[in-house]
Amino acid sequence: MTNINGRFFNLKDIFDRLNTEYFNKTISAKITWGRNVRNGRRYIRFGSYTEKDNIIRIHPSLDREDIPSYFIESIVYHEMLHKVVGGSIVNGRRRVHTPEFKRMEKIFKYYGVAREWEKSNIRKLLKNYG
Ligand SMILES: [Zn+2]
């Protein structure tokens, strides 16, 4: 589970490309295929960022040729943002998807297209998830 090269997507390439295009190469973090075990199956999650280990994990079910690259890029971009934005405490609870986070999330060029694709393909995505 530590390989960077999937069968179809190379996470390090995607990370480097996004880092150059959106973050002026300022993000240093590890990236790997992997499931976020702590979140179990309570809700669907395609990526995670763990601050303690400074690692982004992308769910291996996304490594398929029928997944558009802008979709996987939008997931990687989202997790990279977690490193940049961090969390804030709102009403005593730690929030990570803050208004600032959401504003920055939409800067990604294919944000809208990726969300639309996710909505129309959620069944397909869930079938391979787990
Ligand atoms: Zn998030």
Q: Which domains does the chain have, with CATH numbers?
A: 11-127 (3.30.2010.10)
Q: What does the chain come to in residues? A: 130
CA of 69 to the centre of ligand 1 (A): 19
The tokens for 71 are 């979709």
CA of 64 to the centre of ligand 1 (A): 22
CA of 86 to the centre of ligand 1 (A): 10
For 87-103, the pLDDT digits (tens) are: 788 888 888 888 999 99
- Helix ranges, 7-110 (H): 11-23, 69-85, 99-105
Are the C-beta atoms of 71 and 117 separated by less than 8 Å? yes
For 14-71, the pLDDT digits (tens) are: 999 999 999 999 999 999 999 865 554 445 689 999 989 999 999 999 999 999 999 9
- Across the range 105-112, mean pLDDT stands at 97
The tokens for 17 are 């490309």
The model's pTM: 0.89
CA of 78 to the centre of ligand 1 (A): 6
CA of 74 to the centre of ligand 1 (A): 11
